[in-house]
Amino acid sequence: MLPEAYTIPFQLIMPAAFALGLLLPFKALGTRKGAWIYSATTSTLSFCFTLYVASQFNWSDPGRLQFVGEIPWVDNWNLGFSYGLDGMSLWLVMLTTFLMPIVVLGSLVEVKGDMRTFHFWLHILEAALIGTFIARDIVFFYVCFEFTLIPLFFLIGIFGHGEKLKAAKVFFYYTFTASLLTMAGILYVAWFNTTLTPDTPGISEVYSSIEFDPIDKPEGMSDQEWAEQEYIGQWTFNIKALWAAGRMMPFEAQILVMLAFLAGFGVKTPLFPFHTWLPLAHTEAPTAGSVDLAGLVLKLGPYGLLRLAIPMLPVAALTLAPYLAALAVIGVIYAALVCWVQKDAKKLVAYSSVSHMGFCILGLFAFDGTKDAGSIGATGAFIYMLSHGLATGGMFLCIGMLYDRFHTREIERMSGLAKIMPAWAVFFCVFAFASVGLPGLNGFIGEFLTMLGTFNSRTVNGTPILGPWFAIPAALGVILAAIYLLYLVGKIVFGPLNLPHWEDTGETGIAGGHDLSYREAMTLTPIAVVCVVIGLFPYPILRSLEPAIQEHTRFVHEEIDRIEAEAAAGAAAALDDSGLNAKSPSRQDAKEGSPEDKQTTMKPALYQTAEIASEEDLALLGIAIPKPNNTEPEKEAN
Amino acid sequence: MEAILDKLSHLWPEITMLIGACACLIAGLSSKQVVRKATPGVAMATLVASGVVLLAFGRTDTSHFLGLGAMAAYLKLAVLAMGLLLVFVATGTVDRLKQVVAAEAREGKAFEPGDDFRAEFFAFMLFSLTGVMLTAGASDLVWLFLALELTSLPTYVMVATSRDRDGALAQESAVKYFFLGALSAAVFLYGFTLIYGATGFTEFNQIAAHVQENGASPLMILGVTLSVVGVCFKIAAVPMHFYTADVYQGAATPVTAFLAFVPKAAGMIALIALLGLPLSDVNSETGAIQLPEPLVYLVALIAAVTMTVGNALGLVQTNLKRVLAYSSIAHSGYMLVGILVGPMLARSLMEANPDADTSLSNGTAAVLFYLIAYGLSTVGAFAVLGSLERKDGGEVQSYDDLAGMRLRHPFMAGVLLVSVISLVGLPPLVGFIGKLYLIGSAYAAGTSDAGHAGLYRGLVVLLILNSAMSAGYYLRIVGTAFFGEDKGQTVEAGVPLRRVGGILAALASIALGGYPNAGALAKAAKEAAEPTDRVEPAAEHEDAKERQSAFRLSDPY
């Protein structure tokens, strides 16, 4: 079959090539049906290829990047299209290629204009998304991340509804501005890497804790040696090399770069209060655009945080975790309340995305478990991303079908649709329940795991990072979600039959009120089936996700271990000295300080402590390390 | 005599250009119409020939006393390539003027040479390009002044002759351009004299060596300040940017494209050379040789204000040519960041840490790269405007004229999309790589000049925010062209070569951006800008003084 190194480029180039194929001067492609059939076929082919990739994937080692390869780009900056696939990427690529044929199927009626242009941009979007998920080079990642804006700009601007132009522009400006800041952050880390030398204190420890993916490694050289020789002091954009560089940065720089990353990824996620672009863009986009936005593009935010920000800036992630979680919880509740009062069904679903993505952030920054196992919160956040993509995508498709029939999305104007559209009603209920988090459907898995992770969040010197104070209000958000979604279902699906009049002709929409066509049923069935399957058998996905996610949260756990060890060593040293010798201020803090002061002991980055620690301290460190671990087990057992 | 021959041997490309320009003058005034119509062809052939000559003879691989060393060859080649693109875009400009058509159309009679501008137009174009090439080779203040003026003077005429006589716009803007240009020339010439007064030399090497030995005197700093401010006119930077919008609007679109790149390139080259002169301060930590404090703040201030003013005013314009004029001002601001951080690297980084990788750290290289990136994108955008015209024969100038062009002119809409997106700096186009380069070099300058690291990072943030601001008007262009309602307001201008120029520019933007192995240009820029030993060590300096005493002007005091 295909050589391993070509697998991923093929997966990436496929949709792009299919998009260019649409521009070929064939008459058949110019017709609506022709373009649609072409697009449905090609996007299905892409999905089949993803299945092939999955079959070649080594499932016993999903934490490692596989199919690794590199195509040179700007060679003398060590900038390349380098790619690889681990459990995380694979599931997201699969979600992307799985949703694409579905949105193509669902877009036959709604898209009014030039079908060819529509499908062209849809395929380009697919390529950009795949590129983001497979990138192993941070600039390649950024290029694809940024490039998703262009197809979406056109999809919303040309094919949207209502205030489509405004929606397209707001979406573009908002996310573009934010992600430019991310670029500044990325380049800062890359520059910082050039200032390192092999003699920088602490660097070999950092390099030894990362598993690199060497290419063209000479015989008899260990991965670490290869990486040190390849990356230290060089301009490089390899994500793992920059993890190392980021961890070497001083505390203030880490925080600033983290804020830069949060600008880009937080807006994309969207994290309250930077969500204001989303309702407009989701509502005015065509159904296909909404599904792609909610199902796929929003995933870029948490994915970027997990892939780049958390491993690169563990100290900053740890420090900012409570604040981010607070924003996430506020977002969960606020957006849920906003949903409750929405009149437009699509807007309601759009706001529900804000609420749901709050859970993702909460889970990502829960940091439960230990260095080698656990990370239930982050795993839950990740599976939540996948389920949210499916369930919300399904809801958008269902509402798009209503709009095709009745030309309105106002909740007040319709009710009792189950009477004339029973099949549609079943699907709609399934997706709504999946969104609510009904056990047995996919939404429950993610919701439960993120909450669990938040509850069991690790403690740093006795203070939990998140803990119940974050989990309890978030649980309130779950209840609110049940309220507004069931309210929506109750209003639209049940009750007395009431069909809206078409605004343009004034006649009742009963003529249009037929049940699902075969095409529509084919659109919705796969999503619904997958929702149920994931809900009942989540274990295979969880098992393949967890090692990959553990790989990315490990550094934060190492950081926590180090801080606790340091605090314990400080306390031990203070006891030893028993007040005879002058104590260093940091030790005093560790021993006597209030919990807030203890936060400050988290601050020094790894290399600083390496400088500070004397031999005596190190010896104490060696003794003291087991201590915090021994005090933890009852909590970790959960 | 040998010295002159030696110098001449490096000028074959320029000499070829001058010969070609004369050939254009002759061809454009030929009695045969076929030959007259072939004038642009002569210009293109000249550019190609000059490029061949440059590659064959004119390459200075090491630093030569002819100025910018290896950079000169890169710049000359770049100017020739962009010049070719500009000739593509400029075809048909004068042919279609009313007076030229009238001069041609006299059946049976000899044509009216006084009204036919082809000869002047293309010859002046070549002269101006020659001026940029000479600027790139300049090693002496007098030479630099003459080369800069050779770049600018022909453009005044090009602006004046580019549009119909009955519309006064072109004449008005030409006069404006000329007077302000003369003013700026006076300013930087005054600066040059002060530099000479401060050091007693006009040759760059000698000035630089003198400054390194004796430090930069206040007079020297004042001289460089005035020179920089004067050259700001060429690159359309604050405080000399006021003419830009009016002149760009008044000139015919192809000439505007020319103005947006050629004088700017000359100005940037001059700035690189001028800011290489006063490198005197020695950084106490890294031992880096860097600009004197006042000049750092001067250039940083100009950069910051220029990009902000350009983008802020670009947002409120309604005329597309004015929008692109302000965009060109903003891009000058971006490039000035690279100009500012360029000299920081000179020798220092590599001396401090010989193993350090400097591939993305060189501000001068970033400017060299960005100049091409900006040139391709801007010329592409102007080519699109030039390839269309309104139904009444007017130029495409307003947003409304572009509305819905996706449907009528899909190809040119694609070119416009690529060009504009590259100007925004969106990946994976060449503009993105250019911005990456500028930002990377600005961060890297903080390594060798930690004292100003905050300033450079501030400039990075400003550059980022400005890029975001610029998306406002760039996106409006794309939005209008793609989402607007087509009322059939435009038709093809009937000059297919302009379309070819636009498509070439767009293809180059893509190829130099997100294409595998697109790094060739970045690599060339880096190799060109790698600090050579242009500033000769003090021991050799004595010899150089003796050897060149013949050229030395009398002592000023």
Other Cβ atoms less than 10 A from the Cβ of A264: the count is 30
**Hey, are the CB atoms on A191 and B443 less than 8 Å from each other?**
yes
CB-defined contacts A:B, below 8 A: 122
B257 falls within a domain = yes
Nearest CB neighbour to B357, from listed A165, A176, A234:
A234
**Hey, are the CB atoms on B472 and A165 less than 8 Å from each other?**
no
* Per-residue tokens: B3: 């010295």
More confident residue, A356 or B488: A356
- Distance, in angstroms, between B462 CA and closest chain A CA? 10
With cut-offs at 50, 70 and 90, classify the pLDDT of residue B129.
Answer: very high
Q: What angle, rounded to 10 degrees, do the helices at B118-137 and B39-53 form?
A: 20
535-574 in chain A: CB under 8 A from chain B: none
B86 falls within a domain = yes
- What's the number of domains chain B is made of? 1
**Hey, are the CB atoms on A149 and B426 less than 8 Å from each other?**
yes
Indicate if the pLDDT at residue B390 is higher than 90.
no
With cut-offs at 50, 70 and 90, classify the pLDDT of residue B150.
Answer: very high
111-170 in chain B: CB under 8 A from chain A: none
Residue for token digits 């670029």? Answer: A183
Residue for token digits 């409120």? Answer: B316
**Hey, are the CB atoms on A81 and B526 less than 8 Å from each other?**
no
Q: Across-strand partners of B281?
A: B290
Distance CA B285, CA A22 (A): 59
- Structure confidence at residue A342 (pLDDT): 87
Q: Omega before B40 cis (within 30°)? A: no
Q: How do residues B222-262 score in pLDDT, each as one tens digit?
A: 999 999 999 999 999 988 999 999 999 989 999 999 999 99
**Hey, are the CB atoms on B468 and A195 less than 8 Å from each other?**
no
B554 falls within a domain = no
More confident residue, B205 or B532: B205
Indicate if the pLDDT at residue B349 is higher than 60.
no
Q: Is A260 on the interface with B (CB under 8 A)?
A: no
- Structure confidence at residue A509 (pLDDT): 53
- Structure confidence at residue A592 (pLDDT): 42
Q: Which amino acid is at A264?
A: G
Gap between the terminal Cα atoms of chain B: 29
Residues in B closer than 8 angstroms to A175, CB to CB, are: none
- Distance, in angstroms, between A225 CA and closest chain B CA? 17
Q: Would you say B279 and B535 are in contact if contact means Cβ atoms under 8 Å apart?
A: yes
**Hey, are the CB atoms on B440 and A71 less than 8 Å from each other?**
no
Indicate if the pLDDT at residue B83 is higher than 90.
yes
CA dihedral B397, B400, B403, B409 (to 10 degrees): -30
Categorise residue B537: left if φ over 0, alpha if ψ from -120 to 50, beta otherwise.
beta
Residues in A closer than 8 angstroms to B432, CB to CB, are: 143
Q: Across-strand partners of B140?
A: B203
Nearest CB neighbour to A176, from listed B457, B468, B517:
B468
Q: Would you say B477 and B420 are in contact if contact means Cβ atoms under 8 Å apart?
A: yes
**Hey, are the CB atoms on B447 and A169 less than 8 Å from each other?**
no
Indicate if the pLDDT at residue B554 is higher than 50.
no
109-168 in chain A: CB under 8 A from chain B: 139, 142-144, 146-147, 149-150, 153-154, 157-158, 164-165, 168
Backbone φ, ψ for residue A444 (5° rounding): -60, -45
With cut-offs at 50, 70 and 90, classify the pLDDT of residue A260.
Answer: very high
Helix (H, G, I), strand (E, B) or coil at A514: coil
B556 falls within a domain = no
With cut-offs at 50, 70 and 90, classify the pLDDT of residue A503.
Answer: low
Radius of gyration of the CA atoms of chain B, in A: 23
Q: What percent of chain A has pLDDT over 90?
A: 19
- Structure confidence at residue A305 (pLDDT): 92
More confident residue, A505 or A84: A84
Closest residue by Cα to residue B435 from A170, A139, A319, A25: A139
Q: What is the DSSP letter of A508?
A: B
Q: Which of A173, A180, A252 to mutate to test the interface with B (most CBs of B within 10 A)?
A: A180
For B106, residues 6+ apart whose C-beta sits below 8 A from its C-beta are B112
- Structure confidence at residue B535 (pLDDT): 40
For B77, residues 6+ apart whose C-beta sits below 8 A from its C-beta are B51, B54, B55
Distance CA B504, CA B509 (A): 9
- Of A44-53, A250-259, A287-296, B287-296, which range is least confident? B287-296
- Structure confidence at residue A344 (pLDDT): 87
Q: Omega before A439 cis (within 30°)? A: no
Distance CA A604, CA B527 (A): 40
- Structure confidence at residue B59 (pLDDT): 58
* Per-residue tokens: A484: 């507004």
Alpha helices (H) along B162-252: 169-199, 204-214, 218-235, 243-250
Residue for token digits 């690889």? Answer: A84
Mean pLDDT of chain A: 82
Indicate if the pLDDT at residue A62 is higher than 50.
yes
Indicate if the pLDDT at residue A378 is higher than 80.
yes
CA dihedral B445, B446, B451, B455 (to 10 degrees): 90
- Structure confidence at residue A585 (pLDDT): 45
- Structure confidence at residue B304 (pLDDT): 95
- Of A358-367, A560-569, B275-284, which range is least confident? B275-284
Residues in A closer than 8 angstroms to B357, CB to CB, are: 78, 194, 233-235
Residue for token digits 């991340």? Answer: A145
Helix (H, G, I), strand (E, B) or coil at B266: helix
Indicate if the pLDDT at residue A594 is higher than 50.
no
For A446, residues 6+ apart whose C-beta sits below 8 A from its C-beta are A359, A363, A380, A381, A382, A383, A384, A385, A386, A387, A388, A437
- Structure confidence at residue A511 (pLDDT): 55
Burial of A540 (0-12, 13-18, 19+ CB in 10 A): exposed
Nearest CB neighbour to A146, from listed B360, B427, B523:
B427
Indicate if the pLDDT at residue B124 is higher than 80.
yes
Closest residue by Cα to residue A297 from A174, A458, A406, A442: A174
Q: Would you say A441 and A531 are in contact if contact means Cβ atoms under 8 Å apart?
A: yes
Backbone φ, ψ for residue B530 (5° rounding): -55, 130
Closest residue by Cα to residue A141 from A93, A83, A78, A185: A83
Q: Give the start-to-end residue ranges of the domains of chain A.
A: 4-193+243-553, 554-576+583-636
Closest residue by Cα to residue A380 from A313, A329, A433, A306: A306
More confident residue, A367 or A500: A367
More confident residue, B108 or A609: B108
Expressed as residue numbers, the domain containing B478 is 2-547
Other Cβ atoms less than 10 A from the Cβ of A17: the count is 13
CA dihedral A188, A191, A195, A198 (to 10 degrees): 110
DSSP labels for A182-238? HHHHHHHHHHHHHT--TTSTTHHHHHHTS----SSPPTT--HHHHHHHHHTTS---B
**Hey, are the CB atoms on A183 and B439 less than 8 Å from each other?**
yes
Q: Would you say B444 and B360 are in contact if contact means Cβ atoms under 8 Å apart?
A: yes
- Of B165-179, B220-234, B409-423, which range is least confident? B165-179
For residue A170, the chain B residue with the least C-alpha distance is: B472
More confident residue, B260 or A204: B260
Indicate if the pLDDT at residue A377 is higher than 60.
yes
Q: Which amino acid is at B36?
A: R
For residue A230, the chain B residue with the least C-alpha distance is: B357
Q: Which amino acid is at A153?
A: F
More confident residue, B284 or B330: B330
- Distance, in angstroms, between B554 CA and closest chain A CA? 47
Q: How do residues A117-163 score in pLDDT, each as one tens digit?
A: 888 999 999 999 999 999 989 999 999 999 999 999 988 888 888 88
Distance CA B120, CA A10 (A): 54
Mean pLDDT of chain B: 83
- Rounded mean pLDDT, A437-459: 87
Alpha helices (H) along A437-467: 442-455
- Distance, in angstroms, between B455 CA and closest chain A CA? 14
- Rounded mean pLDDT, A9-32: 85
Backbone φ, ψ for residue A367 (5° rounding): 50, 60
- Rounded mean pLDDT, B59-73: 59
Q: Which amino acid is at A579?
A: G
With cut-offs at 50, 70 and 90, classify the pLDDT of residue B463.
Answer: very high
- Rounded mean pLDDT, A254-281: 89
Residues in A closer than 8 angstroms to B353, CB to CB, are: 197, 233
Distance CA A556, CA A310 (A): 7
Indicate if the pLDDT at residue B2 is higher than 70.
no
Of A202-216, B88-102, B131-145, B529-543, which one has max mean pLDDT?
Answer: B131-145
Q: Which amino acid is at B65?
A: F
Q: Across-strand partners of B261?
A: none
Q: Which of B464, B473, B476, B521 to mutate to test the interface with A (most CBs of A within 10 A)?
A: B464
pTM above 0.80, yes or no: yes
- Structure confidence at residue A604 (pLDDT): 38
207-236 in chain A: CB under 8 A from chain B: 233-235
Residues in B closer than 8 angstroms to A142, CB to CB, are: 427
Gap between the terminal Cα atoms of chain A: 45
- Rounded mean pLDDT, B178-197: 94
Q: Omega before A595 cis (within 30°)? A: no
Indicate if the pLDDT at residue B91 is higher than 80.
yes
